[in-house]
Amino acid sequence: MKRLPPEIVASSLAVTTILIALPHYHLPPWAIFISWAATFAMGGPTRENLGKIWPVMPIGSLFAFLIVVGFGMAARMTSGALLTLCQMLILFTLNASMMALARLPGLGFIPGMFFGFASYFATIFGGFGPVPYDPVAALLAVIPMNALGPVYAWVKDRYSLPDSPPRTWRGWRGHGKISSGRG
């Protein structure tokens, strides 16, 4: 099979996210891009990397969901300085608990947790998901979108030519130095 330039494959995949964001679905396309980029940042879509990122992104989203729900409950029961204190306690407790899960086998990729965490917050506060601003709907929307990012990374690698090696800057016209314009 002939492979295509990586720019063509990646751009073809990127345009599919337009369909995902249509009002009819209203799903968060950036969740795909976040986990797609994360997959390459960790070294690409190898079996080992996919095994690290897929289990932890939903954990991050779930903990972000619990924070949003906890903040909502605290806001209904308290106000002012006590609300701020409650929010700090909720965030500290849930964030530390999430990170402590990295001690368990197969859950050690903490950055992956935060990719899911950030994607959930962007979804809920951006009003995305089948029911805008609904915590459960946002959770159900963001988890599959994050899961697609590594799939996109794999498809990009599978169907495109290898990326070009990085080029070293050689200055203007390849001379290695920039002229000041003075004689």
> Per-residue pLDDT tens for 115-159?
999 999 999 999 999 999 999 999 999 999 999 999 999 999 999
* Model confidence at 100: pLDDT above 90: yes
At 27-79, the pLDDT tens digits run 999 999 999 999 999 999 999 999 999 999 999 999 999 999 999 999 999 99
> Is the residue at 41 inside a domain?
no
> Is the residue at 3 inside a domain?
no
* Model confidence at 177: pLDDT above 60: no
Residues pairing with 4 in the sheet: 160
> Is the residue at 11 inside a domain?
no
Confidence band, pLDDT 50/70/90 cuts, at residue 179: very low
**Over residues 151-175, mean pLDDT:** 77
pTM of the model: 0.84
Amino acid code (one letter) for 83: L
pLDDT of the residue at 21 = 87
> Is the residue at 81 inside a domain?
yes
Q: How far apart (Å, rounded) are the C-alpha atoms in residues 119 and 124?
A: 9
Higher pLDDT, residue 179 or 47: 47
Structure tokens at 112: 């992956």
Q: How far apart (Å, rounded) are the C-alpha atoms in residues 147 and 44?
A: 15
> Is the residue at 172 inside a domain?
no
Q: How far apart (Å, rounded) are the C-alpha atoms in residues 83 and 73?
A: 10
> Is the residue at 1 inside a domain?
no
Q: Which domain holds residue 141?
A: 51-162
> Is the residue at 80 inside a domain?
yes
> Which string of b and e fits 133-155 if b means at least 16 CB within 10 Å?
eebebbbbbbbebbbbbbbbbbb
Q: What interhelical angle do 80-100 and 110-125 show, nearest 10?
A: 140
Structure tokens at 36: 């797609």
Q: Give the number of domains in the chain.
A: 1
> Is the residue at 97 inside a domain?
yes
Which of these, 115, 28, 17, 21, lies nearest to 63 by C-alpha position?
Answer: 115
Q: Give the list of residues 6+ apart from residue 27 with CB closer than 8 angstroms, or none.
A: 20, 21, 128, 129, 130, 141, 145
Q: How far apart (Å, rounded) are the C-alpha atoms in residues 129 and 79?
A: 29
pLDDT of the residue at 134 = 97
**Over residues 167-177, mean pLDDT:** 59
